[in-house]
Chains A and B, each alone.
Chain A
């Protein structure tokens, strides 16, 4: 009985959000009367049809690109960020390099990456990785830097070496911030994904959307947009779930 209510407490706001979005969309399509904004029902029907066709394949390619990129970015940025946050001397040396390169919009390197790395998955993954890397790096480093020194002192007094400090203090202490940066990184990665997939490729959800647009098949284009949105939503939910499990101490 209890869990039904608890489930309902979570699903109800989600359901109403979906309904509100659909109504807004429907009103918009009624008002605009433009073929570029088809009514939601048409788009959903088209989504159903596309799911029987080649949409899943495109989604799969995009999912692969996103997951590999986020994994690589995390695997590089978290250790480096923790290291710089723990060692202020190294951080002062690295800071100029980070601050000079951080604000440069990495997408401008896309043409170069395409030339150097080819039009396959590698160039796309490198670009998304690069962008997510900076977001995670800066957040992780700041979290490690601001970690309460009391924790470090008390654990060192128990006999902890550097490695123990990373394992018992820095990594778990920064994990909430790391997961937050991953969620932000996911948003950016999705945006960049769309961009890189509309360029010199025949695969991916970005291509699917743009291809439908060029064929003026707006229902199918919206099917692609919905599918991309759902993919982001599911990934976001997974990160949320991971945060709840890994950082149980915050949620008590």
Chain B
């Protein structure tokens, strides 16, 4: 079966939270699969459990039922999976340099290996001149790049991103999207990204997963051959795909509100 070849495979995932003594089902029978080296984008209404799904994949929430496999193994923190959050999760009390080397430090890498890797990754992201600054002294786009550097220094196989560009202005956002694509082409990373932005989904996702409102499940998985093609941004095909997704989401949105 094709299933077994997928780098990322989720079968009947269910996650419940306790809220004020009541069980709240955040995810119900989620099925999702993504082959090695592909990009997937999850899109869906607020509160449908997208972040919950990423937390499970990042190994931060072991309290789930169902089958979740990353490269044939159950998810665990600190492995080959990196997580980047909306507000980047950079530590304000560490400089750019110290933020970036944190993962290496936690993995007890040697001083020399850490230094070499940090210089390489900071240079690649154009951050070397600001290595001694604190996150508060950076622009939003620069902070986002630091967060990417902090993930990339660990050579991850799977990159999970939770609304990574939502607090950036349009221009910076496109810059970083392009940048992410470049990294993806170079490293053959598998990327799973959450967004609220439909254009972003079509530009970045070779597979687009549409989620239903709470309890979330994958409503539809759309194959998208236009992902990563700069020339298609703004073309008719591209816009058609966007409006297809939009109408789908709106239908779900209304349904969700009516119920």
Contact = CB atoms under 8 A, between A and B. Distances in A.
Nearest to B87: A150
Interface stretch (B101-109, B123-131, B209-217): B101-109
Q: Is the interface of A mostly helix, strand, loop or mixed?
A: helix
11 contacts: A153-B60, A153-B85, A154-B83, A155-B91, A157-B82, A158-B106, A158-B150, A158-B154, A159-B78, A168-B102, A172-B91
B102 A157 contact: no
Contacts of A169: 91
B83 A153 contact: yes
**Residue in B60, B89, B90, B137 whose Cβ sees the most chain A Cβ within 10 Å:** B89
A232 to B, nearest CB: 29
Interface in A123-175: 148, 150-151, 153-160, 164, 168-169, 172-173, 175
Interface of A: 148, 150-151, 153-160, 164, 168-169, 172-173, 175, 247, 249, 252
Given A150-B85, A155-B102, A169-B91, 9 more contacts: A154-B83, A154-B88, A157-B60, A157-B78, A159-B77, A160-B106, A168-B102, A249-B94, A249-B134
B89 A159 contact: no
Interface of B: 55, 58-60, 77-79, 81-85, 87-94, 102-103, 106-107, 133-134, 136-137, 147, 150, 154
A247 B134 CA distance: 11
B93 A247 contact: yes
Given A159-B79, A159-B107, A154 B134 contact: no
A159 B60 CA distance: 10
Nearest to A169: B91
A252 B91 CA distance: 15
